[in-house]
Structure 1
Amino acid sequence: MCGIVGIVNVQGDHPITEEMLRQMLALIRHRGPDQFGIYLDDRAGLGNARLSIIDLSGGQQPIASEDEGLWIVFNGEIFNYVELRPDLEARGHRFTTNTDTEVILHLYEEYGPACLSHLNGQFAIAIWDAHEQTLFLARDRVGILPLFYTIVDGTLIFASEIKAIIADPRVQRAIDPVALEQIFTFWGTLSPRTIFRGIVDLPPGHYLIARRGRIDVQPYWRLEFGAPTEARREEEYVEELRDLLIDATTIRLRADVPVGAYLSGGLDSSTVAAIVRQYADNRLDTFSIAFSDPEFDESRFQRQMAQCLGTNHQVAYVTHADIGRVFPEVIWHTETPILRTSPAPLFILSQLVRDHSYRVVLTGEGADEFLAGYDIFKEAKVRRFWARQPSSRLRPLLLRRLYPWIAGFAGKNVAYLAAFFSEGLMDTTAPDYSHRPRWRTTSRTRRFFSDDVRQAADTLAQSTDRAPYYPEAFSSWDPLQQAQYLEITTFLSQYLLSAQGDRMIMAHAVEGRFPFLDHRVIEFASRLPPCLKLRGLTEKYILRRVGRAWLPDAIWQRPKQPYRAPIHRSFFNDARLDYVQHLLSPDQVQANGLFKPTAVAHLKEKAQSGVRLSETEDMALVGILSTQLLVERFIHEFRLPPPISEADSVRVCIRNGITVGGTYGI
């Protein structure tokens, strides 16, 4: 993968300089440190920071069409480019590289925006049509890769990361109170908002066209659920999923560099790693996280799976102090407040991968969302079952089978659990029925907001800012499908694939690949009968059927344990962290004006005392600290690194002239 940037004059005639593009690229050097590329004319400037994965010697960007009318910069991978190229060649397209990037360009020449339906991959694409003065931006179906933009003085500025956009001095750096409210409710913003006012993301499954003073954003793919089109035996579904996963995994081994795999010790990553060992000749190294805190550690399952597969297994051993130490850098890369410390160990893990000279890893993200692996799906099912007989004393007992990974949860008094989960119990037709308890719990963290933030959010928020988008067919879907839709659109793309996915892995120039997010697997899973995903209270039932042929019983039969990391003990331990003391001090909280100094001081005092914090308090602590870090790094003390220089490998294309290592126009 790579990073891309660009500036296009949609209206007006503002100067676009090579120096600004070099500055923007410098801020995302970590995404692609191997090579850099720039295209520049009087209306547009494009830039690329390349992480070389395919066609190492010949794939430097930007790449032009035969007549140099179209120019592309690209972040991502198109896994079916090998199959797409012969047809394009038969149609008369001439190739100068062996890259997937050039395949996209010729597909766009042939089909226009409809080219996106041909792509199997993860991508953020920018194509400039110099003849038509048209910019085309596109993002993959579920938002694996990021793409942001803003419009200032009639100029559209885009980039893979927000820090490159705010390099332009015209872009104001300000926190959006509505976005902050969304994060402290849904764990992430609702697309297209970001935490920075006026900067938005291109939503997953959408493309943008900027032409003749107009900007048009359109969907090209939507997540759809529905009943199967035909009755089939269970075994047929199992065989189809097995075949899809084998192909989705093996085509993701296409690379001119070695490919490793994350191994969490759970069903998803173990299945992916097992497929590689079973169906490919590739050498396989596996990587995992071990925690010093036994409450979060899964290393015994990781060791068992690595031994079963016979992989060369590497472990990042993470302590509480390690999480606190790297947290400021984590927030520099997330570019958003977070309510969990979970990205921090993944940041450490990607460094381990890079230290072992790997640039690509396979991971298991997506299985829990599309095949119903989370406790939130079980919770909704239990609550609906209970709602049929709300006076039952037995049905609430099922609540004890939920969230076994939360210490003490199963031992909670049944009356306490019943009181908590009974709120809104009978409102089973509510579209947010499945997620209402989570969002209600998370929103309690907003009690730490200052009065100014609350008032600003109330003033600026529209009705659509305080609830997810529900498609027209939503009410016709099965309750499990409704819950999955909310989890995928509010959590997967907006938090998991961003803060825990792309940002942490690309922080050290490593590319993640996700077989469960192959769009063929997604579309298959969306048509599955719900009982094949959640059978009773057994999650990912069909994946267990698939995985048991390859995995030890202890792995494929193992209940889901979601990946988590310690929170308050990461910031308050024997290693005193000066930045924590500074950013949570009453003076600094007051100066930033986002939270109540007295309330934050009480929370900090409780965390320092060693008393165990509640889930809500833990979320509030990390949310406040990450927000304070964000304000410090991106608003008060935003510093520009030196621009990409002549010492770097830079391809500069000015109009129709191409030079390497310098700027020479023709």
Structure 2
Amino acid sequence: MAAACLPPGMAHTERYQGSGATLAVCRDGSPAAGWHQRGIDGDTVAVCTTEQPDLLGRYRRYGEEMVNHLHGAFALAVWDGARGKLLLARDRTGEHTVYWRLAGGRLSFASQLWALLAEHQCTPELDPVALHHYLTYRYVPAPWSIVAGVGKLAPGTLLVWTGERATTRTYWRLDVRRREPAPSIGQAAEELRQRLTEVTRTRLAAAGPPQVLLSGGLGSSLVAAAVAQVSTAPVRTCTIGFTDPRLDQRQPARDVARYLGAEHAEHTVAGIDPAVLADLARCFDEPFSDPAAIPAYLVARHAGIRLADGFCGAGGAVVYGGYPHHLLLGWLNRWPQRATGLPVLHRIGAALVGQSTSGTPLRRMGRLLEVAGCPPRRRYARIVGQCSESQKAALYTDDLCEELAGMDSSRLADEAYAASTARGDLARMIDADTRGYLPGETLTRLRATGVGHGLRLNCPLLDHQLLDRAAGLPAGWKVPYRRRSLARQLAAGWLPVRTDWSAAPSARRPPIAAWLRHELRDLAWDLLTDRTCAGRGLFRPAAVRKLLAEHQAGIDHSGEIFALVQLELWLRAGPRELAPRPPTNDHELAAMAP
């Protein structure tokens, strides 16, 4: 739920009927959906998406620096009528979102995109630069949004508007400085567990038994253990599973639930109903095509029936270094390096990836060789990216290719990795993840699928003080599979004994390649080859048909196809049709960039 607001005064009320909710915010103090009306003092109004005590008092004491005194997830707006100044802010890790638009001397904002678009009567236009980035990362990274002229605040970013111009600045970044003197690994683990317990206690709802979404991994298991320690009510846990044993993680979740004495529920997926993808697309403000959204959607639907609040383990991999690409890149960077990379090795790896199925040893080998062949400075971007520039160019129409000439989406990840001041490859990856992959993929997926089912998720591992403490610990403690790893130490005493707590979580994602050849085949062909899709002028129909045919013949194009399917479903699900437009110009980008 969201609110579309227009300063000055925030007296303007826009009601947007969507997703079964009427969204509004009023200066007279009437209730608003999504935004909690927290205070009015003369010409000063403050609203926030979460409960934050004494917003106006903090603004009077600290001004713009009030954001450094807030905790947890929030999207914040303060209108100072006396100074003619509007303040917008997004929380440090990007749990909540702020969209904004400056047009005709007016700035409007909302916590959901469609609420913002409902305020404007003109037909919104699709931003091809944002589309270009979406196909690479499977989400639209900030500060872009899929709608031209609409910006999205990056995590830890503050926007100030004075009626003439809007300026943004970053108020928080992960503190990657080494802790001196460094504690022992046991002491560090105990400090982190204590902080997690404190944060969980403050986020625990006053009424109702707490519920935790268990993935079978360490992050959600630690959160479940913390909830069990501080809750006086029985803990409920919920997980999703697949009938394919290679993908199933129900047994580790059962073990944790049994160890903690939790009431456990499971939902098993034997196949995929094509209708799920359309429902999934409607959950998101912007196109999103990470297949991990499917189990997230299903477990949120299952859990949302039982409870409106829940906990999850998002952010755990940032604490103890558990993303699969942390292990892969850290290992590759110990090989002999060539600044230009090894193009032959890259081509061999790319060929193996194209001819293999996701999750198989051949695919993993191909992925390893493909990334190993990249220049070292480009490896991080290749790991977190989906479609390469050449793959996208093969799909685009001639006009779109011309408009996007010279635009390289991988530079976003390259620059984030290069800009990190952390020492060591793993620390740099974690720092870059907090600016891109974590808020753009992980949190977007969990937030959208949860909200789509009335489930509000708490992510205590994303507490910024906890993240800062963990970021300053030695990188060697965060390498998976090591006997003395931070992951093993965090689990000790809190969770059942397992030999693989320190292992990077397996990339157990839905078998989307197989589904696109069977259950989702007709949906993909019908969506991507009809006149509506072709008429958008974005992709060449012949190239799309070739992609579909090659996938059916055994060449894995599931990443590109799923991205196109979810884009088309999202475009058809929205309450307003988006028209194509030229790329965002330099002036607009300068206004939107932090």
Match of 1:230 among 178, 181, 202: 181
When the two structures are aligned, how many residues end up with a matched partner?
Answer: 565
Residue 70 of structure 1 pairs with residue 14 of structure 2: no
Which position in structure 2 is the counterpart of 1:456? Answer: 403
The separation in 2 between residues aligned to 1:308 and 1:476, in whole angstroms, is 37
CA deviation map 1:236-267 (0-9, x unaligned)? 21221221222222222144454311111111
Match of 1:337 among 271, 287, 297: 287
**8 Å CA contact retained: 2:325, 2:383:** no
The separation in 1 between residues aligned to 2:363 and 2:548, in whole angstroms, is 28
The answer for unaligned runs of 5 or more in structure 1 is 52-60, 77-99, 639-666
CA deviation map 1:65-96 (0-9, x unaligned)? 4x4432222213xxxxxxxxxxxxxxxxxxxx
Which position in structure 1 is the counterpart of 2:511? Answer: 566
Which position in structure 1 is the counterpart of 2:373? Answer: 423
**8 Å CA contact retained: 2:99, 2:153:** yes
The separation in 2 between residues aligned to 1:600 and 1:186, in whole angstroms, is 19
Which position in structure 2 is the counterpart of 1:618? Answer: 558
Measured at CA, do residues 270 and 282 of structure 1 come closer, stay the same or move farther in structure 2, by a change above 3 Å?
same
The separation in 1 between residues aligned to 2:509 and 2:240, in whole angstroms, is 11
The separation in 2 between residues aligned to 1:529 and 1:558, in whole angstroms, is 15
- How far is 1:318 from its partner? 2.6
Measured at CA, do residues 457 and 204 of structure 1 come closer, stay the same or move farther in structure 2, by a change above 3 Å?
same
Measured at CA, do residues 533 and 471 of structure 1 come closer, stay the same or move farther in structure 2, by a change above 3 Å?
closer
- How far is 1:269 from its partner? 0.7
Amino acid in the other structure paired with 2:204:
L
1:329 alignment partner, SS class: helix
Residue 629 of structure 1 pairs with residue 569 of structure 2: yes
2:94 alignment partner, SS class: coil
* Correspondence 1:641-652 to 2 at 5 A: none
The separation in 1 between residues aligned to 2:572 and 2:559, in whole angstroms, is 20
Q: Normalising by structure 2, report the TM-score.
A: 0.85
The separation in 2 between residues aligned to 1:47 and 1:176, in whole angstroms, is 34
**8 Å CA contact retained: 1:244, 1:521:** yes
Amino acid in the other structure paired with 2:359:
A
* More off after superposition, 175-184 vs 447-456: 447-456
The separation in 1 between residues aligned to 2:463 and 2:492, in whole angstroms, is 21
1:277 alignment partner, SS class: helix
Match of 2:302 among 347, 352, 377: 352
- How far is 1:283 from its partner? 2.2
Measured at CA, do residues 119 and 16 of structure 1 come closer, stay the same or move farther in structure 2, by a change above 3 Å?
closer
The separation in 1 between residues aligned to 2:417 and 2:251, in whole angstroms, is 43
Match of 1:251 among 188, 193, 202: 202
CA deviation map 1:412-452 (0-9, x unaligned)? 77xx677534323xx44x2x443335537654541322222
The separation in 2 between residues aligned to 1:141 and 1:310, in whole angstroms, is 34
**8 Å CA contact retained: 2:196, 2:466:** yes
CA deviation map 1:94-131 (0-9, x unaligned)? xxxxxx34522322232222222122210001122333
Residue 523 of structure 1 pairs with residue 523 of structure 2: no
Match of 2:477 among 529, 532, 537: 532
CA deviation map 1:288-323 (0-9, x unaligned)? 11123333221122222222222121223234323x
- How far is 1:186 from its partner? 2.9
Which position in structure 2 is the counterpart of 1:653? Answer: none
The separation in 2 between residues aligned to 1:325 and 1:386, in whole angstroms, is 46
- How far is 1:587 from its partner? 3.2
Which position in structure 1 is the counterpart of 2:18? Answer: 27
The separation in 1 between residues aligned to 2:502 and 2:477, in whole angstroms, is 17
CA deviation map 1:555-587 (0-9, x unaligned)? 76373223522324445535875x544321153
Q: Is the radius of gyration larger for structure 1 or structure 2?
A: 1
Measured at CA, do residues 339 and 572 of structure 1 come closer, stay the same or move farther in structure 2, by a change above 3 Å?
same
Percent identity of the aligned residues?
23
2:145 alignment partner, SS class: coil
The separation in 1 between residues aligned to 2:208 and 2:471, in whole angstroms, is 33
- How far is 1:505 from its partner? 0.6
Amino acid in the other structure paired with 1:542:
L
Measured at CA, do residues 598 and 586 of structure 1 come closer, stay the same or move farther in structure 2, by a change above 3 Å?
farther
Measured at CA, do residues 263 and 22 of structure 1 come closer, stay the same or move farther in structure 2, by a change above 3 Å?
same
The answer for unaligned runs of 5 or more in structure 2 is 579-594
CA deviation map 1:456-506 (0-9, x unaligned)? 2227x59997555448863562211112222222211112111x1211111
**8 Å CA contact retained: 1:263, 1:287:** yes
Match of 1:260 among 211, 214, 217: 211
The separation in 1 between residues aligned to 2:332 and 2:440, in whole angstroms, is 26
Measured at CA, do residues 183 and 473 of structure 1 come closer, stay the same or move farther in structure 2, by a change above 3 Å?
closer
Which position in structure 2 is the counterpart of 1:584? Answer: 528
Measured at CA, do residues 147 and 277 of structure 1 come closer, stay the same or move farther in structure 2, by a change above 3 Å?
same
**8 Å CA contact retained: 1:449, 1:596:** yes
Measured at CA, do residues 410 and 451 of structure 1 come closer, stay the same or move farther in structure 2, by a change above 3 Å?
same
Which position in structure 2 is the counterpart of 1:506? Answer: 451
2:183 alignment partner, SS class: coil
Q: Normalising by structure 1, report the TM-score.
A: 0.77
